[in-house]
Chains A and B, each alone.
Chain A
Amino acid sequence: MSEKSNRIIVTVIGADRVGIIAGVATVLAEANANIVDISQTTLREFFTMILMADLSQATIPFDELKRRLTEKGEEMGVKIDAQHEDVFKYMHRV
């Protein structure tokens, strides 16, 4: 892990509705996490939003942010997960 990354990948899975992006973006903004990229797609009939955020200037630790995102997801009726970018890098890139 030489190039230490502070980026995380946030996934939102569930039924599409107004305000999902705003809800997630608010949680991230409150933590001073910068959104690097965002994409939406439909996987197996589910609305899936994937978002990459940079935590290098974040004001709260990753686990706290993850807790807040999960909470927000429950509030909006969607499932939100967050994981460190390295997890995907290791699993899917050789």
Chain B
Amino acid sequence: MPLPFSPQEIVETIRMVQMENLDIRTITMGISLRDCAHPDLDAAGRKAYEKICRLAGRLVAVGNEIEREYGIPVVNKRISVTPISLIAECTAAKSYVRFAEHLDRAAAEVGVNFIGGFSALVHKGATPGDRALIASIPEALSTTERVCASVNVGTTRAGINMDAVAEMGRIVHETAHRTADRDGIGAAKLVVFCNAVEDNPFMAGAFHGVGEPDCVINVGVSGPGVVMSAVQQMPDADFGELASVIKRTAFKITRMGELVGRAASEKLGVPFGIVDLSLAPTPAHGDSVARILEAMGLERVGAHGSTAALALLNDAVKKGGAMASGYVGGLSGAFIPVSEDIGMIEAAEMGAITFDKLEAMTAVCSVGLDMIAVPGSTPPETIAAIIADEAAIGMINRKTTAVRLVPAPGKDVGDFVEFGGLLGRAPVVALNACSSAAFIRRGGRIPAPLQALNN
């Protein structure tokens, strides 16, 4: 029989994996812990531990098996769980740190590097359980290794809970300062969302939403290097052609996610949820979103034109991905974390990209202000005001936005923070020095925008 593929097709695939860092970034198992509630916090934590170990016991082995079978790297295996504020609320406990410890132990036991869902959804108001969870975040993130936390403070339908925003300014600050010996790494595991999604497989913001089944497999695919290479091969193409080539590339990458997701779901006997195609950079060379924008013709990311370039990229990725999988979900688009992207790190260091330009770009990227190191002396009110700005962009544009800032203790503009591994390193960037304190002190809610009134 003749070969069913052309040599060009075969070589293209091999090149994507071998030279352009095409990989499955994460297979994330979403696990509902709604059946683990118990009036005793420790008992609830033990039930959660047992359920996670039972359902995810084979997750890492299956991920490795798929990697061997298909020859595509599966970089991370992760777990997301029901927001813990919902599970721990029926206990009388004032602090949920003990629950986080059970989650950390479960993650270690099954061999995943992160477990997400130490979370609360407070976009319209907080219950006692939400407040206890939020208050536990700084200690939980400084005493555990694998637990990730997130808090949703706004939605297009509900508006923005400014009391929660003010509180999160303090929580981010405290979390960073409790991990001062490691450049504030605790804050790198904390995401503040507007319009958080329930099926996001990417950390640190993954949690298993209440509308999800008992257990589900979500897959995150990445491949900035593949897209960059495609863009580089078209130096003279106009924007229509450029968008088209990115769409085709995104389609092919997403197909790998579909293949791996279906294989993982079959092998684990767990329903397949979604594929999230997000161009997620790593500090490795050839794995940078910034470089794609630069390949489009910008001297450095941050130059005027960067927002338009990112808008084109993000949209083309979504369009290509949407055709490639039966179920596209999560965040799907392009991430622009600073510390995890070699091109961003360089641009921030030389001043080509500033905090304000990053904020503008978040209006058109798939998430938000991500992994940005700011001076450790930044007042909590300023952090809260940054969260408010970012949530406003998400609320008005009906999109997910997020803030993951690291106010690096003892560091100032020009210093570097080093997190190591996938979290990378980043120069501390300058913020506007004027105070937002009186604005944040007002409290209350920013009402839902006109966009919410569409029934």
Q: Which residues of B contact A61 (CB under 8 A)?
A: 68
Q: Which residues of B contact A86 (CB under 8 A)?
A: 70, 259
A17 at the interface (CB under 8 A from B): no
B255 at the interface (CB under 8 A from A): yes
User: With contacts A9-B5, A39-B3, A81-B18 known, is A88 near B10, CB below 8 A?
Assistant: yes
* B312 CB to nearest chain A CB (Å): 23
Contact between A48 and B7, CB atoms less than 8 A apart: yes
B378 at the interface (CB under 8 A from A): no
Point out which of A9, A48, A87 has the most chain B C-beta atoms below 10 A from its C-beta.
A87
Q: Which residues of A contact B8 (CB under 8 A)?
A: 43
| A88 CA / B252 CA spacing, docked (Å) | 10
Interface residues of B in 1-20 (CB under 8 A from A): 1-5, 7-11, 13-14, 17-18
* Per-position binary interface string of chain B over residues 30-66, scored 1 when its CB falls under 8 Å from any chain A CB and 0 otherwise: 0000000000000000000000000000000000000
B72 at the interface (CB under 8 A from A): yes
Identify which of B3, B71, B266 contacts A87 (C-beta below 8 A): B71
* A72 CB to nearest chain B CB (Å): 16
Identify which of B7, B70, B71 contacts A50 (C-beta below 8 A): B7
User: With contacts A13-B11, A81-B14 known, is A91 near B68, CB below 8 A?
Assistant: no
Residue of B nearest to A41 (CB): B7
Q: Which residues of B contact A92 (CB under 8 A)?
A: 5, 9, 13, 252
* B141 CB to nearest chain A CB (Å): 37
User: With contacts A9-B10, A91-B13 known, is A84 near B71, CB below 8 A?
Assistant: yes
| A9 CA / B7 CA spacing, docked (Å) | 11
Interface residue count for A (Cβ, 8 Å)?
A: 29
Contact between B255 and A90, CB atoms less than 8 A apart: yes
Contact between B259 and A48, CB atoms less than 8 A apart: no
* A77 CB to nearest chain B CB (Å): 17
User: With contacts A61-B68, A62-B68, A62-B69 known, is A87 near B11, CB below 8 A?
Assistant: no
B258 at the interface (CB under 8 A from A): yes
B256 at the interface (CB under 8 A from A): yes
A21 at the interface (CB under 8 A from B): no
Contact between B7 and A84, CB atoms less than 8 A apart: no
Contact between A39 and B7, CB atoms less than 8 A apart: yes
B242 at the interface (CB under 8 A from A): no
A3 at the interface (CB under 8 A from B): no
Q: Which residues of A contact B2 (CB under 8 A)?
A: 37
| A75 CA / B68 CA spacing, docked (Å) | 23
Contact between A63 and B256, CB atoms less than 8 A apart: no
Residue of A nearest to B71 (CB): A83
Q: Which residues of B contact A83 (CB under 8 A)?
A: 13-14, 17, 70-72
Chain A interface residues (CB < 8 Å from chain B): 1, 9, 11, 13, 36-37, 39, 41, 43, 48, 50, 52, 61-63, 66, 81-93
Given A86-B70, A92-B9, A92-B252, 9 additional A-B pairs, CB 8 A:
A1-B266, A13-B11, A37-B2, A48-B11, A82-B71, A83-B72, A87-B72, A90-B255, A91-B256
Chosen A-B contacts, 8 in total, with CB atoms closer than 8 Å, are A11-B10, A37-B2, A50-B7, A82-B71, A83-B14, A83-B17, A90-B259, A92-B5
